[in-house]
């Protein structure tokens, strides 16, 4: 019986060895698809909030809020962010109230019980542009515009992906990949779709949202509102919506590391003091 189990175990090891050898053999690669040949990795995007010591650029976040409010909010919701949250961007109480009141939020008529709208209050979340998912799909070629509250956390690539997508729309007829190859006919966008090599399957229902310089008017003292600058600003803003307490979290983390470092030094000095006159 022992010999039998020994043979079984030996066969298992041999099988594993054979499979590992076969797996390492250089088989001919499968034919690459157009998505693999034309899909691009996110472009580099440097933000003030990057890195272990990064801090939000409030001016940039305010510009990003403006881009979202004037462009992106036409299709995308921001349901996890309340109007009062923008006080963290440098707005005072009066400005927050004015910003909220400029938006209409869903309500109920107290006299008739019918759906209605009212001016927003600081406690309200940013309203959705559509009453429900069916209406959202009907207005977007059956595609559902995602909520942007956590988009830089939900999408691989984070803010650089968002920035690349916003600036990545190309003409499928003239676009060439790094090898100089043209896009195959069966990969070109169909009706209602738009070619963007930074999107997962190359074609998406969203039309280019940022189309020209000055589409959003920035106030004095701000950079020129080029498409590239507006894309950077709204990407930075969406980093904040996804993690508004980023600076506090980092401050607590560095404080904890400092405490542990000091505690370690004091513990070592105590050890040396206690055992200094002890013979080994």
Per the annotation, binding residues for heme c are 72, 75-76, 206
What six digits make up the tokens of 241? 């919506």
CA dist 147 and 133 (Å) reads: 11
Q: Which of 30, 21, 65 is nearest to 237 (CA)?
A: 65
Question: Tokens for 53?
Answer: 């010591």
Smallest CA-to-CA distance from 200 within 164, 236, 152, 147 is with 164
Task: Single out the residue of 82, 76, 109 nearest to residue 97, CA to CA.
Answer: 82
Q: How would DSSP label each residue in 75-95?
A: T---TT-BGGGGGGGT--HHH
Residues 6+ apart with CB under 8 A from 42: 157, 158, 160, 161, 163, 164, 198
* Residues tagged in the binding site annotation: 72, 75-76, 206
């Amino acid at each position: 019986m022992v010999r039998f189990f020994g043979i079984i175990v030996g066969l298992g090891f041999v099988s594993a060895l054979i499979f590992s050898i076969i797996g390492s053999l250089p088989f001919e690669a499968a034919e690459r698809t157009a998505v693999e040949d034309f899909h691009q990795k996110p472009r580099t995007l440097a933000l003030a909030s990057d890195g272990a010591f990064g801090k939000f650029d409030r001016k940039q976040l305010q510009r990003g809020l403006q881009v979202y409010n004037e462009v992106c909010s036409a299709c995308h919701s921001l349901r996890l962010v309340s109007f009062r949250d923008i006080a963290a961007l440098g707005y005072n109480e009066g400005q927050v109230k004015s910003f909220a009141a400029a938006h209409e939020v869903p309500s109920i008529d107290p006299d008739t019980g019918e759906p209605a709208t009212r001016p927003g209050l600081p406690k309200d979340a940013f309203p959705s542009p559509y009453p429900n998912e069916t209406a959202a799909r009907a207005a977007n070629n059956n595609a559902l515009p995602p909520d942007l509250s956590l988009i830089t956390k939900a999408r691989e690539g984070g803010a650089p992906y968002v920035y690349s997508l916003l600036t990545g729309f190309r003409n499928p007829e003239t676009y060439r990949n790094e090898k100089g190859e043209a896009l195959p006919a069966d990969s070109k966008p169909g009706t209602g779709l738009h070619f963007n090599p930074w999107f997962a399957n190359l074609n998406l229902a969203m039309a280019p949202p940022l189309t020209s310089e000055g589409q959003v008017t920035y106030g004095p003292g701000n950079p020129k509102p080029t498409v590239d600058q507006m894309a950077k600003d709204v990407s930075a803003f969406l980093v904040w919506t996804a993690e508004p307490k980023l600076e506090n979290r980092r401050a607590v983390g560095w404080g904890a590391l400092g405490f542990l470092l000091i505690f370690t030094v004091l513990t070592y000095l105590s050890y040396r003091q206690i055992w200094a006159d002890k013979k080994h």
